[in-house]
Structure 1
């Protein structure tokens, strides 16, 4: 839709929908209304995926990576902080209070977007059905888009696997309670700090090197996490979490810096194709994480995570090693 509908209006509509959805959850009196409101909230939360290509479009070519990095650092920080903050607020004032708070914060964000975000009218004249089809056509046309989506899908599988299995390990191996797990997630948010750095590196023409670094960092972090869990070092396990989050961000920012340059007038469709692949495959990470830690403990989980990184490195060596930087 971001290549069809004026972007500011689309973002504001989705933000308003998220506010209403959060209020609906907070006021829900039964499972049907709760699920309906949750569906509205989930659908409208995709507004952020309109913001990312819009920010890239509004930025100069020389600063595009840093702009994407700034937006994505905020996105990942929000994702990582959501669980511990929700845990603390729910413990203090009940779960409904968290959704009232979420609605209020989202409304404030909406006001800021209303006053500060410039309008952008897409150039496309295609109908919605044709736009959806063109997303598939873009995947066929640009091998680099398929490759970048494959990289990020692999890293997102590993990311979800880690954060599904880690709370189980934290409670069983380290004896942490709910608040302790929430504090651990706060530490993991430190990985978001790498996003602006990744953007800066991408702007300097080092996207390919950053990609290799992210894949290698993920692989080594999972391998190292097995040793630190076996040794019972909670601090070192927290460092592993930060490094894994950082690896995901390194690849994400460098990848988006590349794909948004493929066709400036199709940023929304490119991002839709890219993120659809990432989320569809990434969702399997939660299943893999829960199954692996249940059947083989953290040792099996770490091996699978390292193997996923190894698959990404293999793809890089086969298809990307000789590709020019930022291409």
Structure 2
């Protein structure tokens, strides 16, 4: 057993991480990543299942489309109203409670016999899936400050991989055992994760709980945005990169399901496996952030994001070009996203949940904007116009980086460089 002196030294070592417990092993952070991917996947499972759901429950096409809308609305509300709670209560207990409530919501979806019950269950699923962001903030708080970028990169990879593979997994499971099996399986996995995380995660999260009441906690999120230029800037980067990300992934099934490919839903869903390559490769962004290269990483990644749309233009004539474009785009988005979260968390580690929750609201706005604009534009102007839209979002992000890079007041530093761009 460690002596009192050794214990005190260990706590001092991790104090900057926002907790009094020893730094967890890499295996625990991998568990964080798995839990993040499993939770966020629930937001995207329904996309390849809409037709089957609608037929099973006798829903009109317009009502079927609201399944996705309500799930994302629930997620957006959860980012603002639930994620900040991580700054006021024990995150270990909060995560377990949200996961167990998510199990209930998934069970409601799986057993729904009427459209009203299904839609209510989907909205609740989106609301509770924001446990993903509580997990990200908790992982960042447990990481040593010198290695926070690597930890955020690892955990965020789980989020992106969950998003990319959700459609593939749900399509395959639905073909094998029906659409309800997707949500029953997810409920079982979520219940298991709740138990494992409650047993594995540290109880002592340090002197982090705030004295703010719930209403004050929510208002302070807005105050943080008003106060911190870096937070506003990184939120804008997040909005633009996820608008580009959603422009691709919300519309790519349209040209692939038409001539000359006529790919099935399962084959289109397998494209998510290609995107995982880019997401994993972008883990290097976390290490670059730990070396103080966040500004350079952002610039290079945004340039790659712009470049990714050149091969994507040739999707109709070359699947190879599509693969290259997908890898570049996912690598770039993941790199900027990891950089964003690493930098904003360092501003106020004790307000990590509010910072990340507020930032992710912009992610949701960007994702919704890209999806709505891309699918609408494809219907009237085709795939080339969609690529121009995605390139436009990407160019805006790069232009924002160039402008703020010239006007920023110094190089990036790890703990709260307010002027970093």
| TM-score, length of structure 2 as denominator length | 0.75
SS in 2 for 1:172: coil
TM-aligned CA deviation for residue 235 of structure 1: 2.2
> Residue 277 of structure 2 corresponds to which residue in structure 1?
190
Question: Which of the numbers 150, 155, 173 marks the counterpart of 2:236?
Answer: 150
C-alpha distance in 1 between matches for 2:112 and 2:291:
50
Any conservation in 2 of the 1:260–1:267 contact (CA below 8 Å)? yes
SS in 1 for 2:347: coil
Q: Deviations over 1:164-184 (max 9, x none)?
A: 111101112422121211112
> Residue 55 of structure 1 corresponds to which residue in structure 2?
139
Question: Which of the numbers 135, 145, 148 marks the counterpart of 1:64?
Answer: 148
SS in 1 for 2:262: coil
Question: Which of the numbers 357, 372, 375 marks the counterpart of 1:287?
Answer: 372
> Which residues in structure 2 correspond to 1:142-181 (within 5 Å)?
142-173=228-259, 174-181=261-268
Q: Deviations over 1:242-275 (max 9, x none)?
A: 2111111000101111111101111111112111
1:257 aligns with 2:347: no
> Residue 46 of structure 1 corresponds to which residue in structure 2?
130
Question: Which of the numbers 286, 305, 308 marks the counterpart of 2:390?
Answer: 305
Name the Cα RMSD after superposition. Answer: 1.4
Q: Please, which runs of 5 or more residues in structure 1 have no aligned partner?
A: none
C-alpha distance in 2 between matches for 1:186 and 1:311:
28
TM-aligned CA deviation for residue 186 of structure 1: 2.3
Aligned residues: 325
TM-aligned CA deviation for residue 223 of structure 1: 2.5
Any conservation in 1 of the 2:243–2:370 contact (CA below 8 Å)? yes
C-alpha distance in 2 between matches for 1:153 and 1:4:
27
C-alpha distance in 1 between matches for 2:185 and 2:103:
10
TM-aligned CA deviation for residue 189 of structure 1: 2.3
C-alpha distance in 2 between matches for 1:74 and 1:195:
12
SS in 1 for 2:182: helix
C-alpha distance in 1 between matches for 2:210 and 2:88:
6
C-alpha distance in 2 between matches for 1:110 and 1:220:
41
C-alpha distance in 1 between matches for 2:193 and 2:285:
25
Q: Deviations over 1:131-180 (max 9, x none)?
A: 11111111111101000000010000111111111110111242212121
Any conservation in 2 of the 1:7–1:54 contact (CA below 8 Å)? yes
1:200 aligns with 2:287: yes
TM-aligned CA deviation for residue 57 of structure 1: 0.9
1:246 aligns with 2:331: yes
TM-aligned CA deviation for residue 112 of structure 1: 1.6
TM-aligned CA deviation for residue 309 of structure 1: 1.1
Any conservation in 1 of the 2:99–2:190 contact (CA below 8 Å)? yes
SS in 1 for 2:210: coil
TM-aligned CA deviation for residue 191 of structure 1: 2.1
Any conservation in 1 of the 2:89–2:209 contact (CA below 8 Å)? no
SS in 1 for 2:87: coil
TM-aligned CA deviation for residue 70 of structure 1: 0.8
C-alpha distance in 2 between matches for 1:271 and 1:106:
22
| TM-score, length of structure 1 as denominator length | 0.96
C-alpha distance in 2 between matches for 1:243 and 1:314:
19
Any conservation in 1 of the 2:282–2:332 contact (CA below 8 Å)? no
Any conservation in 2 of the 1:191–1:244 contact (CA below 8 Å)? yes
User: 26-35 or 317-326: which moved more?
Assistant: 317-326
TM-aligned CA deviation for residue 207 of structure 1: 0.8
SS in 2 for 1:325: coil
SS in 2 for 1:261: helix
Q: Deviations over 1:89-110 (max 9, x none)?
A: 0001101111111111111211
C-alpha distance in 2 between matches for 1:198 and 1:302:
26
C-alpha distance in 2 between matches for 1:303 and 1:185:
22
1:130 aligns with 2:216: yes
C-alpha distance in 2 between matches for 1:301 and 1:312:
17
TM-aligned CA deviation for residue 281 of structure 1: 3.1
> Residue 94 of structure 2 corresponds to which residue in structure 1?
10
C-alpha distance in 1 between matches for 2:242 and 2:222:
21
1:94 aligns with 2:178: yes
C-alpha distance in 1 between matches for 2:209 and 2:125:
29
